């Protein structure tokens, strides 16, 4: 009898090379990873042991095209582990983290292979390479060097060990956060607990209780789409405090899922990794491969915002305190769990703006349509639902994407709802990157959001923040879909990480355009477009609350930088975090976006370590970039849109990012538009 076929190893012949989602089981992954790694090693050995001299084609292009079985299995696995995980998948994740890290280490430490890449790099001026080929050569060479290809002897062995141990630790860190989020729910019993909560939140809390099997009827979980509105609307200070404490202490519970020792060890290993590269700190090592290039640039940017945001926060706080006095609240200190609630009161009273009123105009399907429509008006793209294509979960919908002339560009999968087995947050990923190396690969791009689902009686309604998140991830999605490069390593979002948030944050600007709102934001019951007066009030209120966001964000970025710039061991990450914040005079009442024990950007992988600043860096670029449309007098100006497509959304990493930006804008970016947008300098 034939052995049963592993669907991961059979050809994937569905449209767009989609995986056979319905056939894949957790037990298929380990053998598929092992086969993928073996094939990859064999391909690389063939490149490394060639007898002829290295050329771009026989070494660089071949390297870029290698390991495709492994890549497709890894991409699928990471997507499932994030969006539709299970105990069995988590077990595979823990089991495979070290072997996969060892594999990738061995690829970039392969001496014979590096010798060929290094020889090409040394002679790069005389190879007659095109601009993109040269960029690929420089990029891949740097990948090798940064992964330790030049290390020798004991240092080499130690480096590989570090990479494996880091892979295990970052996997555990992410799973621990998931565990703490999955194991907490605040049951709401009866009207006394539900008082003040708008309908959409009651519906979402009801849905959450059902999914968690909680009898109470309603529950608040730590999903952002529940916890943030709960803190905003619930007048029950005691319940807000309970929920807040659970939210900010994720990862910080003694026992089997404690992230404090994990984060401490990750930081220590990263310091050692940096030292092997000759850097004094991990921040120095990480920043060497960014647009910022050095710590000094990052500190300067963060300082500039921090010194303005802290006094601005005090002014916001005065408004909150005044509201508390006017409402006869107890004459005690404003606590962190009070801030959002009182800010909402101020928003209502000062700007006559009520989140629940606003949400009625943002039903999810219309907002998805709005994002598609903006992409059509800017870039001529068309999105067609392909419900004939199976995906990994009923929530994930597939859209075929075509260009203005009908040419199929790629496939877009959007998975919008929070649910058990899906990690929190919002992100873009890919099952296939665009490239033309060997064959014409069409991108298959995913967006994940975590919106609270409507209860069936009312549709899913988004807050303005949710809509921004939807547009943000969609911007990343376009960066993947519009990619137009020759080589996979240079494709889509595989750019320097302080450039990667530019396409996403830039796209958020279109949802603030009154014209876009009038067209798409319609009341879910009456179908009436959002009134001008409400748009006006949104604009007026936009600056209010910016100081709170700026402080929370910058505080997290400062802690990230301090932790990774440290040249001494950090024994207690909680004490360290408190010390950094105290030294900076951080207002405790604002809190921070992420505390170290659940700071997934830093510890669920390495790509954002010493890199939380990148959102602010990219904001300097996106606010300056959007001004190009403002200057043209039309948010859909065809000529500006064409340039933004060419230099920002399509060029991937085929052009140096600073040069790409200047090609688009005709000059380098200025910081003023960002400061103005955040209300930190006057118009």
Whole-angstrom distance, CA of residue 499 vs CA of residue 577:
27
Q: Give 402's strand partners.
A: 382, 408
Which CB atom, from 469 or from 650, has the smaller least distance to Zn ion? 469
232: closest CA among 467, 423, 464? 464
Min CB(503)–Zn ion separation in Å: 9
Min CB(618)–Zn ion separation in Å: 8
Min CB(672)–Zn ion separation in Å: 23
Residue 27 appears among annotated catalytic residues = no
Whole-angstrom distance, CA of residue 40 vs CA of residue 34:
10
Residues that bind Zn ion (CB under 5 A): 501, 504
- Tokens 């040069």 belong to which residue? 659
> What are the structure tokens assigned to 121, written together?
């790099």
Min CB(501)–Zn ion separation in Å: 5
Do 267 and 173 touch, CB atoms closer than 8 A? no
Min CB(677)–Zn ion separation in Å: 17
Element (H, E) at 207: helix 199-212
Which CB atom, from 66 or from 504, has the smaller least distance to Zn ion? 504
Whole-angstrom distance, CA of residue 492 vs CA of residue 623:
21
The catalytic residue among 473, 488, 508, 619 is 473
Which CB atom, from 133 or from 504, has the smaller least distance to Zn ion? 504
Which CB atom, from 8 or from 375, has the smaller least distance to Zn ion? 375
Which CB atom, from 448 or from 654, has the smaller least distance to Zn ion? 448
Min CB(615)–Zn ion separation in Å: 7
Min CB(79)–Zn ion separation in Å: 17
Neighbouring C-beta atoms of residue 4, cutoff 10 Å: 7
Which CB atom, from 424 or from 504, has the smaller least distance to Zn ion? 504
Do 29 and 77 touch, CB atoms closer than 8 A? yes
Per DSSP, 597 falls in state G
Which CB atom, from 252 or from 501, has the smaller least distance to Zn ion? 501
Whole-angstrom distance, CA of residue 142 vs CA of residue 138:
6
- Tokens 């590096």 belong to which residue? 114
Burial track 299-337 (b if 16+ CB lie within 10 A, e otherwise): bebbebbbebbbebbeebbebbeebbeeeebeeeeeebb
Q: How far is CA 472 from the centre of its chain?
A: 9
What is the number of the residue whose Cβ is closest to Zn ion?
504
Do 29 and 70 touch, CB atoms closer than 8 A? no
Q: Give 415's strand partners.
A: 396, 448
Whole-angstrom distance, CA of residue 652 vs CA of residue 645:
11
Whole-angstrom distance, CA of residue 371 vs CA of residue 369:
5
Burial track 43-66 (b if 16+ CB lie within 10 A, e otherwise): bbeebbeeeeebebebbbbbbbbb
Instruction: Kindly list the catalytic residues.
Output: 473
């Amino acid at each position: 009898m034939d052995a049963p076929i592993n669907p991961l190893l059979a050809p994937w012949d569905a449209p767009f090379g989609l995986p056979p989602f319905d056939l894949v089981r957790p037990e298929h992954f380990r053998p598929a990873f092992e086969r993928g790694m073996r094939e990859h090693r064999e391909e690389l050995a063939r490149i490394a042991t060639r007898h002829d001299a290295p050329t771009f084609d026989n070494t660089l292009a071949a390297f870029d095209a290698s390991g495709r079985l492994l890549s497709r299995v890894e991409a699928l696995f990471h997507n499932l582990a994030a969006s539709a995980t299970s105990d069995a998948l988590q077990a595979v994740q823990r089991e495979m983290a070290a072997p996969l890290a060892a594999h990738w280490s061995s690829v970039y430490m392969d001496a014979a292979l590096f010798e060929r890449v290094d020889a090409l790099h040394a002679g790069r001026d005389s190879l007659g390479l095109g601009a993109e080929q040269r960029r690929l050569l420089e990029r891949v060479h740097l990948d090798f060097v940064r992964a330790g290809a030049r290390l020798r002897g004991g240092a080499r062995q130690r480096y590989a060990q570090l990479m494996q141990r880091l892979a295990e630790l970052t996997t555990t860190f992410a799973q621990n956060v998931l565990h703490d989020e999955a194991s907490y729910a605040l049951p709401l019993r009866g009207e006394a607990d539900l008082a003040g909560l708008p309908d959409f939140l009651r519906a979402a809390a009801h849905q959450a209780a059902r999914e968690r099997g909680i009898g109470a009827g309603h529950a608040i979980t730590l999903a952002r789409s529940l916890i943030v509105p709960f803190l905003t609307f619930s007048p029950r200070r005691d319940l807000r405090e309970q929920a807040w404490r659970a939210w900010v202490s994720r990862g910080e519970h003694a026992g089997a899922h404690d992230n404090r020792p994990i984060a401490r060890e990750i930081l220590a290993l990263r310091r050692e990794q940096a030292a092997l590269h000759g850097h004094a700190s991990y921040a120095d090592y990480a920043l060497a491969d960014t647009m910022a290039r050095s710590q000094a640039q990052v500190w300067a940017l963060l300082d500039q915002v921090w010194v303005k945001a802290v006094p601005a926060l005090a002014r916001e706080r005065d408004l909150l305190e005044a509201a508390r006095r006017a409402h006869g609240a107890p004459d005690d200190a404003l606590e962190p769990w009070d801030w959002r609630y009182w800010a909402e009161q101020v928003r209502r009273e000062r700007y006559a703006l009520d989140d629940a009123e606003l949400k009625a105009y943002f039903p999810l399907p219309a907002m998805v349509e709005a994002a598609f429509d903006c992409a059509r008006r800017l870039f001529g793209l068309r999105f067609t639902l392909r419900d004939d294509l199976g995906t990994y979960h009923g929530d994930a919908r597939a859209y075929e994407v075509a260009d203005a002339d009908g040419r199929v560009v790629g496939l877009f999968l959007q998975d919008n709802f929070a649910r058990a087995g899906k990690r929190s947050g919002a992100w873009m990923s890919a099952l296939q990157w665009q490239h033309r190396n060997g064959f014409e690969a069409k991108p298959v791009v995913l967006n994940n959001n975590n919106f609270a689902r409507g209860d069936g009686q009312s549709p899913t309604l988004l807050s303005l923040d949710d809509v921004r998140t939807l547009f943000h991830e969609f911007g990343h999605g376009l960066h993947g879909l519009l990619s137009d490069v020759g080589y996979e390593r240079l494709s889509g979002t595989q750019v320097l990480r302080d450039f990667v948030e530019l396409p996403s944050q830039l796209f958020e600007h279109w949802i603030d355009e009154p014209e876009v709102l009038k067209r798409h934001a319609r009341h879910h019951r009456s179908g009436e477009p959002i009134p001008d007066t409400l748009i006006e009030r949104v604009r007026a209120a936009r600056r209010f609350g910016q100081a709170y966001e700026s402080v929370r964000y910058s505080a997290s970025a400062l802690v990230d930088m301090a932790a990774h710039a440290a040249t001494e061991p950090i024994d207690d990450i909680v004490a360290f975090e408190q010390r950094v914040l105290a030294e900076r005079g951080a207002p405790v009442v604002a809190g921070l976006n992420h505390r170290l024990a659940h700071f997934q950007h830093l510890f669920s992988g390495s790509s954002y370590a010493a890199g939380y600043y990148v959102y602010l860096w990219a904001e300097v670029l996106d606010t300056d970039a959007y001004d190009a449309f403002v200057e043209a007098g039309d948010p859909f100006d065809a000529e500006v849109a064409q340039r933004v497509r060419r230099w920002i959304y399509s060029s991937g990493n085929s052009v140096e990012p600073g040069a790409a930006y200047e090609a688009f804008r005709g000059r380098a970016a200025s910081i003023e538009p960002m400061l103005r947008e955040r209300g930190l300098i006057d118009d």
